[in-house]
Structure 1
Amino acid sequence: MGKYIDNNLIKDEKVELETTYHWIIFCNLRSIITLGLAPIIDKYTDEFAITNKRVIIKTGLISRKTFEMNHSKIESVNVDQGILGRIFGYGTIRIVGSGGTKEVFPKINSPLEFRKKFQEMSN
């Protein structure tokens, strides 16, 4: 479990599912230019989790961006997968919150499992 998530769990909250970026993040120009360093930093510092109470996502090493939303405030978790995403098991997660807020997280490992766990936890 990630350090950010561990430090920000509230009383009686437990992590139900945690995921990370798919290895496909190493297959792009950014990875080549930074000799693989940028995707390594992303993979080991960004955290994606579903707890029994909310969804918690933290991205960034120096400049941090966090997304934390209670299950009751999330309208839907959508998954976008192209043909390569379906073959290799990665995709984009789009979280739509009440009030129209939208957060997009690309190249996530096992996005269908993430969506399924969210649906299980929100029922």
Structure 2
Amino acid sequence: MQDQEILFYGKLHWIIFLWPIVVFILGILLLQQPILINVGYLFTSFGIIWFIVTYVTYYFSSIVVKKSQIILATGILVRQYADIPINKIESVDIRQPIIGSIFNYGSIVIRGTGGTVYGINNLHHPLTCRRIIEQVIHNTAN
């Protein structure tokens, strides 16, 4: 059962909640203006719904790295679940904006043999995840 040991468990970064909260706060501020009260209700409602959808996405999205496989789960309405054997991985790429470097989040793209591409956006600690995956690939090759 050594192959089942979890080496890395990753979730999405809290930054995904930023825009829903900003829209909600903007809606609250618009509610203070009598002439814009309907727009305020619209923004507040949209912010709440967006936050709930984002939370459900956060809750159900993850990446698990084990010695023999990577398990990737994303999405809510269209659930994507991938079980990738370590020996079927060709490359692991990171896409990280400047603000992602500051707050330690980014996207990870895993390319499998045969050109299959798996990815997860806004992952917390993407560089750590890539480093661990590359170590596991290296250890498996030896």
- Provide the TM-score with structure 1 as the length reference: 0.82
Gaps of 5+ in 2: 24-45
Tell me which residue corresponds to 1:4.
Answer: none
RMSD between aligned alpha carbons?
A: 2.2
The alpha carbon displacement at 1:47 in A equals 2.1
Name whichever of 35-44 and 23-32 sits farther off: 23-32
3-state DSSP class of the match of 2:58? helix
| 1:13-63 alpha-carbon deviations (Å, 9 max, x no partner) | 221110100011112359843511111111112221101101101123454
State the distance in 2 between where 1:79 and 1:115 align: 8
Give the number of aligned pairs: 114
User: Could you say which residue in structure 2 is the equivalent of 1:52?
Assistant: 67
The one-letter code matched in structure 1 to 2:17 is F
Corresponding residue for residue 17 of structure 1:
8
* Higher CA-based Rg: 2
Are the equivalent residues in 2 in contact too, given 1:15–1:49 (CA < 8 A)? Answer: yes
The runs of 5 or more residues in structure 1 that have no matched partner are 1-9
- For 2:124, the equivalent position in structure 1 comes to 109
Shift of 1:11: 8.2
TM-aligned CA distance change 1:83 to 1:11, over 3 Å? closer
Query: How high is the sequence identity, in percent, across the aligned residues?
Result: 28
Q: Which has more helix, going by share of residues?
A: 2
User: What TM-score does the superposition give when structure 2 sets the normalisation length?
Assistant: 0.72
Spell out the pairing of 1:1-123 with structure 2 (5 A cutoff). 12-28=3-19, 32=23, 33-35=46-48, 36-61=51-76, 63-123=78-138
After superposition, the Cα gap between the structure-2 partners of 1:69 and 1:83, relative to the gap in structure 1 and judged at 3 Å, is: same
